[in-house]
Each structure stands twice: as structure tokens, then as C-alpha cells.
């Protein structure tokens, strides 16, 4: 019998007050990224267009909130990244915050994010990443002298810093007050000690699911991530796009009235309003959706109403 443990590192959720006590910047706003929302075809009827517009704005607003909430986790992985870069990384990771953090550790993914950011009108340079709205992160000058002497750190100070890191994590505004040093210097010292492996950040192991394979049959308890990954391989219409997100569908799902969207999109739609945004027909629950696979596609392909609209460009 083979056991497969699926785990994720616990993410640090940070409130805006804590973030902006340390950084002289404004949080990412919906207005900073609203121009990224793709325009609907002109022939879309006004009522449907309004519904789709509101849905897409809700998705964007939720993504903006995630960027602001997890900004420290993003900056720890990509110190030169900007909020708009992290917004795009989240979008490319299908709004999975854990997956986005992991993806940003991949240099190829970083290049894709940078290229996408530039393609959408954001200017990148080697020294800074900013848009016309001046979205940038830096420590407040009031934190202290940038040239504070490194020699001011005694062995006792380092031990105290390590203890405070264990207690407060990376809340450098709190740590700075207890250390009687600037938040910037505490952060710089922390980064240096971490690089030297004198401080090793704690990582909590959270088992999200357990998969048991017995007699070539897979049983999963907990999150069904593996199940979804396997079902994506069964996609009968690879390359077809989701009409709401305009992204290729990984797991197409059919509504009772014949509309196909990606399964994750349907979940977001049903969380907002339990209705088809195209027809306004009621959908009681996700159980009414049919996930299309290569096994059942022939049985349902004639029922797809928006087949032409989902074809790749």
C-alpha cells in the first residue's frame, strides 16, 4: 500500500495596517488594473454585458485584495516584484495563492510574468518596476538612518532578534519597537541572517490531503487536487476558451441549459449568484454541472449551446 501526503506551507496573512506601517506606498487598487479587463464583443446584449462586467470586476477586486494581503510572501520570493506583477502572477496561477507563491520561485515563470506585465502597458527596468500610477514598495524614511552601522548589532541583539522572529514572524514594525532599531535595519539583518542560515524561517506542515493507492485504485481523503489534475488530462476540448475569463479551459463543465465554462469559473459564478450569467436560468448547485471528459463528450457535445464562442481564436 502506498501513501501519498500532499502538503502546503502555511501562508502568512498580513493586514493592510501592518503592511503600510512599514512601507511608504499605497495598496494596489482596482483602478490600477481595471484596464486589464477584456472588452466584451459589441454584439453582446446590454443586460448580459452588465452581468459579465460585474462578475469580472468582482474577480479582479478579490485578486487585488489577495495581493495586498499576502504582499510579504510575494516580496520574500520576488523582492523586486511590484503589486501589479503579483496580480498577474495570481491570474496566471488561476487565483491560487499557494500556487502563485510556488510558481514565482521558477525563473521561467518570472520571465512570463514580466513579459505579460510589459505587454499590458507596465514599464519595467532593472532598477525599478513601476507604472504611471507609481505603484512601488519601499521602507519609510522615518524608519531610521539608511546608513545605520552594522556593528551596532551585538550577539545579544542577534539572539533577541531570533527570539522575536520566532514569536512575531516578520512583523518588523513590532520587532523594531522591541529592538529599539528601525524596521528597515531589522529586516535587513533578518535577510542577512537568513542567507547565512543563522535564522531558518519556521514552516508549518499542513497535510491537506492523503491519497492511498491500493490494488491500482486511488483513494483520496481531503482536498481533491490530484483528482482535478487527473480530470484536466481528460479534457476533451483542449484549447477552448472560457467566455468569462477568456482563458483556456482546464476542466470544462456543462450547465443544464447547455453552456460550457471552466469548472472553477462556474464555482465562482455559483458563489455569487446561483444562475447562468448568459441565460439567467437558475442553477441550484454544482451537482447540476457535468464535467466534460473524453469518456462522456460524445454524449453531451450536441447539447453545447456556446460551442462556436468557446473555440480558440
pLDDT digits (tens, 9 = 90+) for 228-282: 555 566 788 888 999 998 888 888 999 999 999 999 899 999 988 889 999 999 9
Instruction: Note the pLDDT of residue 207.
Output: 56
Examine the domain organization and report whether 51 and 96 are in the same domain: yes
114 shares its domain with 159: no
User: Do residues 41 and 112 share a domain?
Assistant: yes
287 plus 239 within the same structural domain = yes
pLDDT reported for residue 125: 43
pLDDT at residue 232, rounded to an integer: 60
Q: Which domain holds residue 290?
A: 234-309
Which of 69, 94, 120 is the endpoint of a domain?
A: 120
Structural domain includes residue 218: no
More confident residue, 102 or 144: 102
What's the DSSP call for residue 121? T
CA distance 109 to 114: 9
pLDDT at position 16, please? 47
Instruction: Tell me: pLDDT of 288 over 90.
Output: yes
Residues 292 and 246 in one domain: yes
Residue 110 lies in a domain: yes
Query: Do 34 and 114 fall within a single domain?
Result: yes
Predicted TM-score (pTM) of the model is 0.44
Domains contained in the chain, number: 3
pLDDT value of residue 303: 93
pLDDT class of 40 with cuts at 50, 70, 90: confident
- Of 147, 174, 199, the residue that ends a domain is 199
Average pLDDT over residues 56-64: 88
Contact 270, 306 (CB under 8 A): no
The answer to whether residue 109 sits within a structural domain is yes
The pLDDT value recorded for residue 52 is 77
Same domain, 111 and 160: no
CATH code of 275's domain: 3.30.40.10
For the cut 70, the answer to whether the pLDDT of residue 285 exceeds it is yes
Minimal CA–CA distance to 191: which of 269, 238, 139? 139
Q: Does residue 121 carry a pLDDT above 50?
A: yes
Contact 10, 204 (CB under 8 A): yes
In a domain, residue 180? The reply is yes
CA dihedral 134, 136, 140, 144 (to 10 degrees): -120
Measured CA distances, 213 to 89, 90, 159, 216 (Å): 34, 32, 46, 6
161 located within any domain:
yes
The residue from 105, 120, 135 where one domain ends is 120
pLDDT band of residue 305 (cuts 50, 70, 90) is: very high
Nearest-5° angle of CA 157, CA 159, CA 161?
Answer: 70
Residue 120 has pLDDT above 90, yes or no: no
Query: Residue 59 domain-assigned?
Result: yes
- 165 and 112 in one domain? no
- H or E element, residue 54: helix 46-69
pLDDT of residue 151: 55
d(CA 262, CA 22): 39
Which of 38-47, 153-162, 186-195 is the least confident region? 38-47
* Same domain (yes/no): 43, 109: yes
Reply yes or no on whether the pLDDT at 201 is more than 80.
Answer: no
Same domain (yes/no): 169, 104:
no
Which one is predicted more confidently, 152 or 67?
67
298 lies in a domain?
yes
289 and 240 in a single domain? The answer is yes
Q: 37-41, 152-156, 300-304: which has the minimum mean pLDDT?
A: 37-41
State the average pLDDT over residues 281-294.
Answer: 90
Amino acid at each position: 500500500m502506498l501513501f501519498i501526503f500532499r502538503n502546503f506551507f502555511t501562508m502568512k496573512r498580513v493586514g493592510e495596517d501592518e503592511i503600510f506601517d512599514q512601507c511608504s506606498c499605497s495598496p494596489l487598487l482596482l483602478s490600477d488594473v481595471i484596464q486589464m479587463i477584456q472588452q466584451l464583443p459589441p454584439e453582446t446584449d446590454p443586460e448580459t454585458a452588465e452581468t459579465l462586467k460585474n462578475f469580472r470586476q468582482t474577480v479582479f477586486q478579490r485578486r487585488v485584495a489577495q495581493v495586498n494581503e499576502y504582499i510579504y510572501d510575494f516580496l520574500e520570493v520576488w523582492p523586486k516584484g511590484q503589486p501589479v506583477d503579483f496580480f498577474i502572477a495570481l491570474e496566471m496561477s488561476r487565483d491560487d495563492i499557494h500556487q502563485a507563491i510556488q510558481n514565482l520561485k521558477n525563473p521561467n515563470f518570472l520571465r512570463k510574468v514580466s513579459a505579460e506585465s510589459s505587454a499590458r502597458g507596465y514599464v519595467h527596468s532593472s532598477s525599478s518596476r513601476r507604472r504611471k500610477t507609481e505603484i512601488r514598495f519601499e521602507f519609510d524614511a522615518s524608519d531610521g538612518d539608511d546608513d545605520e552601522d552594522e556593528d551596532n548589532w551585538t550577539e545579544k541583539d542577534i539572539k533577541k532578534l531570533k527570539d522575536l522572529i520566532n514569536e512575531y514572524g516578520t512583523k518588523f514594525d513590532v520587532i523594531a519597537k522591541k529592538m529599539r532599531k528601525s524596521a528597515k535595519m531589522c529586516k535587513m539583518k533578518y535577510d542577512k541572517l537568513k542567507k547565512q542560515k543563522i535564522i531558518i524561517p519556521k514552516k508549518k506542515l499542513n497535510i491537506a490531503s492523503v491519497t492511498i493507492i491500493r490494488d491500482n485504485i486511488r483513494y483520496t481523503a481531503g482536498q481533491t487536487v490530484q483528482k482535478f489534475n487527473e480530470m484536466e488530462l481528460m479534457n476533451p476540448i483542449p484549447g477552448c476558451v472560457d467566455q468569462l475569463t477568456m482563458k483556456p479551459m482546464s476542466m470544462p463543465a456543462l450547465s443544464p441549459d447547455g453552456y460550457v465554462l471552466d469548472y472553477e469559473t462556474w464555482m465562482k459564478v455559483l458563489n455569487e449568484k446561483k444562475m447562468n450569467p448568459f441565460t439567467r436560468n437558475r442553477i441550484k448547485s454544482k451537482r447540476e454541472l457535468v464535467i466534460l471528459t473524453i469518456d462522456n463528450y460524445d454524449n453531451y457535445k450536441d447539447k453545447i449551446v456556446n460551442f462556436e464562442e468557446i473555440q480558440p481564436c
